[in-house]
Amino acid sequence: MLPLQHNYNIKMAEMYKETDKISDLISDDYRLLQVMSRFGLTVGFGEKTVKEVCEKQKVNFNTFLAVANFTKYGEKVASDWIEKVSVKSLTNYLKLSHSYYLDFMLPNIRRKLIEAIDCSTHNEVSFLILKFYDEYVGEVRKHLELENTKVFPYIDELLEGHVGKDASIEMTLLHQEPIEQKLSELKNIIIKYYTPINNNGNLLNNVLFEIFICEEDLYTHYRVEESLFLPAMHLLEEEKTNEEPVSDDNDEDDNDILSDREKDIIIGVVKGLTNKEIANNLFISLNTVTTHRRNIARKLNIHSPAGLTIYAIVNNLVDISEVKGN
């Protein structure tokens, strides 16, 4: 496991903000140069803020900040940004990340690796190391192209309003082999068992350094998919699924505009359950509960548990005896 997370809580005030100068962010963490390039942001921004640069280059600044803060602080900050990101912007970021790995980073490491281990000497260990690396790159390509051909087209359709949940999308993102681990294995093999020849020690150290960077970068990439992209996708699915045409019937009972699932959510809130407990009881995700609660508040214009309790009793969703202890 790479040391990307910290063992303390990060407050919003400590995170990168839209009013920060983007040059200060880069000075604070050089890895954000990679984040910038994958959002299509170019340098030469002078003293402009994150918001100014993003808006000028037509990038959603909240999505940029979400990835930037995730890169800096790790998964602990993901929940603060899930509802703020643009799924479209985050998808474009991931697409450009895939192109960066396949078209630049991995081929560049291969060229440097060939030079460092000097395959021209017909050293058997050198050829085995290169074969190991090529097999690894093949796995990365298979992994990323599966997302390119399966996950991203699904998101494009979802953004266009074509709702149809596909459980295999989540399986694709969460249950693939963690391919950054094999890169770690290659790195350890070279460090422990390969002896540089022809005075290529500096070249070998340089390519090892790039493998370390690549390993960390891939780790962050997959955690962004798992902790930011996937939950944001679930929210978008729920939003599209629960979109309803505005009714002109002013006599419609409020209770009738709630789905059965939303009524179940209200009952859980009235009984004093946490969102996580409601999710577990109903066998749905925490993000789904959050989305339902937001839709309930919008439909009923009731935002507090006390207000929902009164609503639930008046509309016979619960008996008053069920809420006496709350």
236 and 128 within one domain: yes
pLDDT at 90: 96
281 and 234 within one domain: no
Q: What is the pLDDT of residues 172-206, one digit of tens each?
A: 665 555 566 777 888 888 888 887 776 678 888 99
Q: Which of these three, 241, 274, 300, is where a domain ends?
A: 241
Domain extent at residue 318? 256-322
Nearest to 159 by CA among 80, 243, 221: 243
230 and 97 within one domain: yes
pLDDT at 176: 56
Asked if residue 302 belongs to a domain, the reply is yes
262 and 224 within one domain: no
**Dihedral of CA 313/317/321/323: which sign?**
negative
DSSP secondary structure, 177-237, as one string: --THHHHHHHHHHHHHH----TT-HHHHHHHHHHHHHHHHHHHHHHHHIIIIIHHHHHHHH
Q: What is the DSSP letter of 21?
A: B
DSSP secondary structure, 251-267, as one string: T--GGGGS-HHHHHHHH
Q: Which of these three, 28, 49, 80, is where a domain ends?
A: 80
pLDDT at 79: 85
Using alpha carbons, list the distances in angstroms from residue 65 to 8, 53, 62, 72, 148.
Answer: 20, 12, 5, 10, 24
pLDDT means over runs of 10, the chain (326 residues) = 45 83 94 93 91 94 96 89 92 94 94 82 78 90 89 88 67 60 81 77 89 89 89 81 45 60 90 87 80 84 84 87 62
The CATH number that applies at residue 286 is 1.10.10.10
Angle between helices 305-314 and 286-300 (to 10 degrees): 70
- In total, how many domains does the chain have? 3
Asked if residue 6 belongs to a domain, the reply is no
Q: What is the DSSP letter of 241?
A: H
314 and 230 within one domain: no
151 and 192 within one domain: yes
Q: From the CA atom positions of the chain, what is the Rg in Å?
A: 25
100 and 73 within one domain: no
106 and 54 within one domain: no
pLDDT at 292: 84
Asked if residue 251 belongs to a domain, the reply is no
**Dihedral of CA 171/172/177/182: which sign?**
negative
Asked if residue 291 belongs to a domain, the reply is yes
Q: What is the pLDDT of residues 258-281, one digit of tens each?
A: 888 889 999 999 988 888 889 888
221 and 112 within one domain: yes
111 and 228 within one domain: yes
178 and 74 within one domain: no
Number of helical H runs and strand E runs in the chain:
16, 0
**pTM of the predicted model as reported, rounded to 2 decimal places:** 0.69
pLDDT at 252: 41
Asked if residue 233 belongs to a domain, the reply is yes
Say which residue the tokens 């690396």 belong to: 133
Asked if residue 166 belongs to a domain, the reply is yes
Cβ contact 40:111 at 8 Å: no
Asked if residue 196 belongs to a domain, the reply is yes
How far apart are alpha carbons 20 and 116 in whole angstroms?
41
47 and 94 within one domain: no
Work out the angle at residue 106's Cα, subtended by the Cα atoms of residues 224 and 64, and round it to the nearest 5 degrees: 30
Nearest to 129 by CA among 139, 140, 119, 141: 119
**Dihedral of CA 10/16/20/23: which sign?**
positive
Asked if residue 249 belongs to a domain, the reply is no
Reduced to 3 states, what is the DSSP secondary structure of residue 220?
A: helix
Q: Which of these three, 191, 208, 241, is where a domain ends?
A: 241
Q: What is the DSSP letter of 79?
A: G
